[in-house]
Amino acid sequence: MKSEHIITVLILLTVGIVFYIGYWLYSHYEYISETVEVGFQGEARDNPLLAAERLLERMGTTAKTVHALPNVKDDLGSQDTLVLLQYGTFFSDDQTQQLFHWLDDGGHLIMSSDTLHDVVGKTTKTNLDPLLKKLRVYRHQNGLDKDKIAQAPPTQFVWAQYRLQVAFNPDYYLEPSYYDPVKEISDKHGIHFLFYYYGNGIMRTQAKVEGDGTGTPFEKIPPLWTLLWTTMWTVIISAAILLLFWLWTASRRFGSLLPTPPRARRRLLEHIEASGHFLWRQEQAHTLLHGARQALLKRLESVHPDWTHLSHAELSQRLAQVCELPADEIEEALNPHQSPLAKRGKVPGQGRISEMAFTRSLQIMTQIRKTL
C-alpha cells in the first residue's frame, strides 16, 4: 500500500513539473510568423524554364526537359525547338556536326554558353564552346557588382511589332566578330541577344539566362556519381570486376563454422587432491581421516561381516593378526577417541594433527584395506 502512494506522488509531481514548464514557456515566449524568401522549390529550383514548359503544354505543344543531348537524328525533327542552357564543352565533334545539320534542315536552336572571353577574344578554357566557335561569337563579362546588377533597368526593344521589356543580366554581353546577326538586342551594357539564320534553321544565342548555372561555380553542379561515370567509367568498371573477383576468391574460404572446442576439464584425481589440500590448510585433517575410516569399515563389513559386532579392542587384535601390525596403532587409527592417546588427553581427531601422525594413520588404513 505504501509503494502505491509513492507511485501516485511521483506521477502527480511529474505532471506538475510538466505543467509548470508549459506555463513558463507560454508566459515567456510569443509565437510569431515571419515570411522568409527560400526561392523556388522542387522541380522549379532545378529547371529555370519550368514555367515556359507548362505554358507550352497548356497551349498543346509537346515540351520536355532532358539532362543530356538527345539523339539529333532520331529525336529531333526539322520543326522542333531545342533550348540549351547548360552544355559547357561536353559536345563531341560528331554531336556538333549533327546539331548543325539539324539546324541546316530547319531546326530552331536557343542557347546560352558558359564560355567567357577577355577583351582580345581569349579564354582560359582549353576547349572552346563548339557552337560559339562556329559562329565566332565571343562572350564577355562587365564585372559589375551585385548592387549595380540589381538596379539595372530592363532592356526595351521592339519584336514583331510588340514593344517588350526584358531584364537581361547586364554583367554579360556578346560580341559577334565574323557573321552579322539578323537581329540583335542591346543596351548600354552591350549586346544581350543575337538572332541568326543558319541554312533553313534559326539560331538564337543569349549572353546569360538566369538559372543557367553560369553565375557561380557551385550552381547546377552535376551529382558526383555522374561526374565520376563521365570521366572515370573505365576505372569504375575495372574496380567492379576486381571486387567481383575478390568476392569469388574470398568466398572459397567461407564454410561451416568450426566446432567450439570443449573446455578443458580437470581429472577427478586433481579435484580430490585439491580438496584434500584445502582441508589440510583449514586444519580439517580429522575430516580426511574420518572419510578413510568409513571406507575401510565399509570394506570390512563386506569381507568379514561378523567382525562388525566385535569391540574395538577385539577388532584391533583380529586385524593385527591378519595384517601383522601393532594392535594399539590399529586401534588408534580406527578409533582415536578410545585409543590410549585419547585417554592421556592427546586425541588425534581434535585440534591440529601433525603431518607424521596423519601419514601414519593413512598408511595403516591403506595396508589393512590391501590385506582384506
- CATH number (domain holding residue 198): 3.40.50
Give the pLDDT confidence score for residue 342 in this predicted structure: 41
Do residues 209 and 296 both lie within one domain? no
What does DSSP assign to residue 177?
Answer: S
3-state secondary structure of 343: helix
Do residues 207 and 81 both lie within one domain? yes
- 167 belongs to a structural domain: yes
Structural domains in the chain (count): 2
Q: Which of 43-57, 202-216, 281-295, 301-315 has the lowest mean pLDDT?
A: 202-216
Q: Which of 64-73, 128-137, 161-170, 343-352 has the lowest mean pLDDT?
A: 343-352
Do residues 190 and 276 both lie within one domain? no
The last residue of a domain, from among 175, 201, 217? 217
- 233 belongs to a structural domain: no
Residue 296 near residue 288 (C-beta atoms within 8 A): no
The last residue of a domain, from among 217, 250, 277? 217
The pLDDT of 235-247, averaged and rounded, is 89
Do residues 188 and 273 both lie within one domain? no
Do residues 54 and 194 both lie within one domain? yes
Of 13 and 48, more confident? 13
Give the pLDDT confidence score for residue 183 in this predicted structure: 87
Do residues 196 and 68 both lie within one domain? yes
Q: Where are the alpha helices (DSSP H) in the chain?
A: 2-28, 43-46, 50-58, 72-75, 93-104, 130-135, 146-151, 224-251, 268-281, 285-303, 312-323, 327-334, 340-343, 355-371
- Using the structure block, give the residue that is written with the C-alpha cell 543580366: 169
- 354 belongs to a structural domain: yes
- 32 belongs to a structural domain: no
Do residues 62 and 177 both lie within one domain? yes
Per-residue pLDDT band for 63 (boundaries 50, 70, 90) equals: confident
Burial of 110 (0-12, 13-18, 19+ CB in 10 A): middle
As beta bridge partners, residue 205 has 111, 194
pLDDT greater than 80 at residue 51: yes
**Whats the size of the chain, residue-wise?**
372
- 254 belongs to a structural domain: no
pLDDT greater than 50 at residue 181: yes
Do residues 272 and 144 both lie within one domain? no
Give the pLDDT confidence score for residue 293 in this predicted structure: 84
Give the pLDDT confidence score for residue 257 in this predicted structure: 63
The last residue of a domain, from among 217, 248, 280? 217
Per-residue pLDDT band for 240 (boundaries 50, 70, 90) equals: very high
pLDDT greater than 80 at residue 71: no
pLDDT greater than 70 at residue 11: yes
Q: How far apart are CA 32 and CA 261, in angstroms?
A: 69
Do residues 181 and 49 both lie within one domain? yes
Q: How far apart are CA 167 and CA 154, in angstroms?
A: 4
Element (H, E) at 211: none
Which pLDDT tens digit goes with each residue over 245-255?
Answer: 888 877 766 56
- 225 belongs to a structural domain: no
pLDDT greater than 50 at residue 346: no
The pLDDT of 315-326, averaged and rounded, is 81
Identify the CA nearest to 196 among candidates 209, 186, 182, 179. Answer: 182
Do residues 211 and 327 both lie within one domain? no
- 228 belongs to a structural domain: no
Which pLDDT tens digit goes with each residue over 251-300?
Answer: 766 566 667 777 666 677 787 788 888 888 888 888 888 888 888 888 88
- 224 belongs to a structural domain: no
Q: Which domain holds residue 185?
A: 43-217
Measured CA distances, 57 to 40, 42, 47, 63, 186 (Å): 20, 19, 15, 6, 31
Do residues 290 and 207 both lie within one domain? no
As beta bridge partners, residue 206 has 112, 193
Do residues 193 and 60 both lie within one domain? yes
